[in-house]
């Protein structure tokens, strides 16, 4: 699937709509949103539907998602009449991890946590991306130090050189929430309970006012390590 770099023309203040449209044209093939059902991802789905862009949606069920996350998935399919392609980790790999290291090995070391993420997230993601020319994420620079130098549209060398499109990269949390409220999009109930970033239930907790958005993810680790491997560069 060839990438048409000629069509990646963006101004520094490009809107999410312009980034999505340019990314779709440049990818020159199928694109899907990697949806974790965060407020960012729901906003992107609403933007895609408003623009009537041929961008699908896929999600990874790690086996440890919160009930509230599944509620959002159902609300999205009902409201937008879209289908969500679910990818699950390989059963044998999960069974092996649990048998060898137990259900909470991810809290014992960074290496163990990254192993759990590889089994439950990264490997299913690789299968989802294998048939795509590009993928859309809800990443924002404001979220963490690990995302400060991202670009709105990038070549994802880690995943076979497909395009990675980050339409909300330059938006603040306030901008995302203003849009969500104005459009009345379905929002995960945990967001309003102090969870700005939501992942697997055992690895996510509420944050205190003034804390970084991702401080509730893997809170026992240093900030520079707070990625699960889905957004490797």
Residues with catalytic annotation? 228
> Cα–Cα distances in Å, from 177 out to 40, 183, 184?
8, 10, 10
User: Do residues 215 and 207 touch, judged by C-beta distance below 8 A?
Assistant: yes
Instruction: Look at the chain and count its residues.
Output: 233
Q: Please give the Cα distance from 8 to 202 (Å, whole number).
A: 39
Cα dihedral 14, 166, 142, 80 sign:
positive
3-state helix, strand, coil in the chain (%, to 5): 45, 10, 40
Q: Vertex 142, ends 184 and 136: CA angle to 5°? A: 60
Chain centroid to CA 111: 22
Calculate Rg over the CA atoms of the chain.
17
């Amino acid at each position: 699937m060839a990438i048409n770099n000629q069509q990646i023309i963006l101004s520094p203040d490009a809107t999410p709509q312009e980034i999505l449209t340019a990314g779709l044209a440049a990818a020159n093939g199928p694109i899907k949103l990697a949806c974790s059902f965060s407020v960012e991802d729901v906003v992107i789905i609403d933007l895609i539907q408003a623009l009537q862009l041929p961008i699908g949606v896929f999600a990874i069920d790690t086996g440890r998602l919160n009930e509230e996350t599944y509620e959002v998935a159902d609300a999205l399919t009902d409201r937008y009449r879209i289908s969500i392609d679910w990818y699950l980790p390989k059963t044998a790999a999960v069974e092996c991890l649990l048998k060898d290291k137990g259900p909470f090995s991810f809290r014992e070391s960074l290496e163990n946590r990254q192993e759990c993420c590889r089994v439950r997230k990264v490997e299913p993601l690789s299968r989802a991306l294998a048939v795509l020319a590009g993928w859309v994420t809800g990443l924002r620079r404001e979220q963490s130090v690990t995302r400060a130098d991202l670009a709105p549209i990038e070549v994802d060398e880690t995943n076979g050189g497909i395009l990675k499109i980050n339409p909300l990269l330059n938006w603040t949390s306030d901008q995302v929430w203003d849009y969500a409220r104005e459009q009345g999009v379905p929002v995960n109930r945990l967001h309003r309970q102090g969870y700005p970033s939501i992942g697997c239930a055992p690895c996510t907790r509420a944050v205190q006012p003034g804390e970084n958005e991702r401080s509730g993810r893997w809170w026992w680790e240093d900030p520079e390590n707070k990625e699960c491997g889905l957004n490797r560069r």
